[in-house]
Amino acid sequence: MTSRLDRLPLRDDLRGLTPYGAPQAALPVALNVNENTHAVPQDVADDILDSIAFALRDVNRYPDREFTALREGFAEYLGHGLTADQIWAANGSNEVLQHLLQAFGGPGRTAFGFAPTYSMYPLLARATGAAWIAGTREADYTITADAASSQVATADPDVVFLCSPNNPTGTPLSLDVIEAVYAASRGIVVVDEAYVEFAPHGTPSALSLLPGRERLVVSRTMSKAFAFAGARVGYLAADPAVIDALRLVRLPYHLSALTQAAATAALRHSDTMLRMVDDIVAQRDRISATLEALGYLPHESWTNFVLFGGVDDPADTWRRLYDRGILIRDVSIPHHLRVTAGTEDETTAFLDALASIDSEA
């Protein structure tokens, strides 16, 4: 017989919390969790499979604890003069962020972010014992340098999360805001660039700010632009001292040999893997334009999704789309819903379904 959770000796600070749980349903069109809806190209998949097969020959041995080849691959991909000793990786960017909080957050410390933002930040903070402080954004979800630095200075957090571009709103974040927050803080400043590959070409990355800023961290993921969500690979770039700190909290051999082999192979084909980004951006912009024509209020997005307002009853619209085989996301922002940019056919299915709902109103 299974015990009730409230009868177990659970940590007091975890009681009442709800686990992260985006809906998963076997619908024809799933556009709710910002996955890359394009499959890994066949030639890349073949190389990945060959690399995994080779790694299997030694799978009876522990993997390279320092995942050296993978770190070298990430350094080469990121550029900016980065070297392998400035790179860290883990099983998805959530584990990367968890490592940061384990090392620099924890009991008696605080983590800060500008709400609304990625829902895992407060969950990870609280799960690792840190208190979460939510800052505020402008009405259009932007952040100014002055307002950001003032809020951070007042909160005085140990860890600051800056989602750039922001999830779930898609909002860009300029480098001057990052510089201002760093100057106003004493703790670790994490710039989460999970969606940066979907920003306009030539947009500067926070990676350019790393020199001389030993408390600055830039986090990335292979889940989005690299179509690698199921592989669970996230990484970051920072001062080598930060990397040393993360070694103190990671589990031994935390990246399997198979994960290392798959990710290293995918990086060898970064140009091919990223070619689908332009198509996704085109579908994102098509969604925004069509939503506006339908009378909704899409927010500017530099990601692979669109947050749109003007929804009278988000729960009802979500359910009616669900009944039509379309899964999108209710992110609990009043009168808003969020949709991932899919393939051309998936995008058409969503837009046609939404138009049909509107015609019934």
Q: What does the pLDDT look like over 95-154, one tens digit per residue? A: 999 999 999 999 999 999 999 999 999 999 999 999 999 999 999 999 999 999 999 999
What length is written for the chain? 361
Q: What is the pLDDT of residue 6?
A: 80
**Residues 337 and 330: beta-carbon distance below 8 Å:** yes
Domains and CATH numbers, the chain: 5-40+272-360 (3.90.1150.10), 42-270 (3.40.640.10)
Question: Cα dist. 111→9, 117, 126 in Å?
Answer: 26, 13, 9
Rounded CA-CA distance 154/37 in Å is 41
Q: Using 50, 70 and 90 to split pLDDT, how confident is the model at 361?
A: low
User: What are the beta bridge partners of residue 326?
Assistant: 29
Q: What is the pLDDT of residue 17?
A: 77
Q: What is the pLDDT of residue 3?
A: 64
Alpha helices in the chain (DSSP H): 42-56, 68-78, 93-104, 120-127, 145-155, 175-184, 240-247, 257-268, 270-293, 314-323, 344-360
Condensed to tens digits (0 to 9), the pLDDT of residues 301-349 reads 999 999 999 999 999 999 999 999 999 999 999 999 999 999 999 999 9
Place of tokens 């080469």: 76
Average pLDDT over residues 64-90: 98
Quote the tokens at residue 112: 């800060």
Could you tell me the end-to-end alpha-carbon distance of the chain, in angstroms, rounded to an integer? 48
Given a cut of 60, whether residue 241 has pLDDT beyond it is yes
**Residues 237 and 196: beta-carbon distance below 8 Å:** no
Q: Using 50, 70 and 90 to split pLDDT, how confident is the model at 171?
A: very high
Q: What is the pLDDT of residue 201?
A: 93
Given a cut of 70, whether residue 2 has pLDDT beyond it is no
Q: Tell me the pLDDT of the chain averaged across its residues.
A: 95
Quote the pTM value.
0.95
Residue 309's CB is within 10 A of a number of other CB atoms, namely: 15
**Residues 350-354: contacts with CB within 8 Å, 24+ apart?**
350/29, 350/31, 350/287, 350/321, 350/326, 351/286, 351/287, 351/290, 351/291, 353/321, 353/324, 353/325, 353/326, 354/291, 354/294, 354/317, 354/321
- Give me the percent of the chain exceeding a pLDDT of 70: 98
Task: Name residue 264's amino acid.
Answer: T
Given a cut of 50, whether residue 1 has pLDDT beyond it is no
Given a cut of 90, whether residue 18 has pLDDT beyond it is no
CA angle, 59 then 63 then 64, to 5°: 150
Given a cut of 80, whether residue 89 has pLDDT beyond it is yes
Place of tokens 């390279």: 64
Average pLDDT over residues 185-211: 97
Condensed to tens digits (0 to 9), the pLDDT of residues 30-67 reads 999 999 999 999 999 999 999 999 999 999 999 999 99
Element containing residue 160 per DSSP (H, E)? strand 159-163
Quote the tokens at residue 297: 């209020």
User: What are the beta bridge partners of residue 327?
Assistant: 30
